[in-house]
Amino acid sequence: MSDYLLRTVQQALDEDIGSGDVSASLLSDKQVKAHIIARESAVIFGIDYAQYAFLLVDQSVQIDWQVNDGENVVENQILCTLTGLASSIVSSERVALNFLQTLSATATQTHSLVSKIAHTNAQLLDTRKTIPGLRLAQKQAVKCGGGVNHRLGLYDCVMLKENHILAAGSIKRAAQSAIEKYAHLPIIVEVESLDQLQQTLALDGITRVLCDNFCTDDLVKAVMLAKGKLPLEASGNIDEYNIVEVANTGVDYISIGSITKNVQAIDLSLRFS
């Protein structure tokens, strides 16, 4: 078990159980069998997180998973069978389901959007718009759904956005400063117009250009300007309804924050036999 997984699951259990599950304390030490059931179609992700939610409470709980991460499931499909003390299972239930429902939602939404643009060369990227404490987990779910991870945080990639550029005085000054100090890191410049794009294309040392809130006509022009020079990323107000139109412009990447911040939890339930 990775330290991150252990720490993340334990923190969630501590938050929920606190000094003890008073409702579970009313139950007798009875062995039961239970199932986690999908109530809708989904791409499943988060099995390890759910697994350790049970085992960190009670290592004697036996779990037989009938699906794997990345697998498509349908309504009323059984995901796993649990055998153990009733008190242990009910104490772990909510945390386990929270991880599984949320991470499966990210994987499912990512898979849906990736499928829509599969006929193009565009790759779907996530963003830093993740649930606090679940950054790595959600980015794992994005990969499971067929997406590609953007930067993990503020430390592994330089991204020069409008406020960085305004503070530096120009795109050129901001980029030169980044190249001088962080040449070993990817450097991405966010532009808001075709003029800013041309300024950026004239610079050396840039890794990628992010076209923020470009209309599709301008994205087509941007692709023509950047062809053979730098890869382009489109971002801003892109969703399931216009992603195909954006991908058809020829951009290399499309980043969408909604796959991690606006997901609706997959409907799962745990029931005793």
CATH of the domain at 37: 3.90.1170.20
Same-domain status, 64 and 122: no
Of the listed 116, 128, 129, 221, which one is catalytic?
129
Q: Which domain holds residue 11?
A: 3-109+264-272
In the annotation, is 212 catalytic?
yes
SS3 labels along the chain: CCHHHHHHHHHHHHHHHCCCCCCHHHCCCCEEEEEEEECCCEECCCHHHHHHHHHCCCCCCEEEECCCCCCEECCCCEEEEEEEEHHHHHHHHHHHHHHHHHHHHHHHHHHHHHHHCCCCCCEEECCCCCCCCCHHHHHHHHHHCCCECCCCCCCCCEEECHHHHHHHCCHHHHHHHHHHHHCCCCEEEEECCHHHHHHHHCCCCCCEEEEECCCHHHHHHHHHHHCCCCCEEEECCCCCCCHHHHHCCCCCEEECCHHHHCCCCCCEEEEEC
- 29 pLDDT tier (thresholds 50, 70, 90): confident
Same-domain status, 72 and 165: no
Q: What is the pLDDT of residues 89-127, one digit of tens each?
A: 999 999 999 999 999 999 999 999 999 999 999 999 999
Of the listed 116, 128, 135, 161, which one is catalytic?
161
Predicted local confidence at residue 111, as pLDDT: 98
CATH of the domain at 217: 3.20.20.70
- 1 pLDDT tier (thresholds 50, 70, 90): low
Of the listed 93, 139, 151, 212, which one is catalytic?
212
Same-domain status, 101 and 119: no
Same-domain status, 92 and 216: no
Q: What is the pLDDT of residues 46-71, one digit of tens each?
A: 999 999 999 999 999 999 999 999 99
Same-domain status, 100 and 207: no
Same-domain status, 211 and 246: yes
In the annotation, is 227 catalytic?
no
The stretch 181-199 carries a mean pLDDT of 97
Of the listed 93, 126, 151, 190, which one is catalytic?
190
Same-domain status, 64 and 50: yes
Check whether 257 has a pLDDT greater than 60: yes
Q: How many domains, the chain?
A: 2
In the annotation, is 94 catalytic?
yes
- 183 pLDDT tier (thresholds 50, 70, 90): very high
Q: What is the pLDDT of residues 237-252, one digit of tens each?
A: 999 999 999 999 999 9
Q: What is the mean pLDDT of the chain?
A: 96
Same-domain status, 88 and 154: no
**pTM of the predicted model as reported, rounded to 2 decimal places:** 0.94
Least confident residue range of 19-28, 83-92, 112-121: 19-28
Same-domain status, 151 and 239: yes
Same-domain status, 233 and 127: yes
Same-domain status, 201 and 132: yes
Same-domain status, 31 and 54: yes
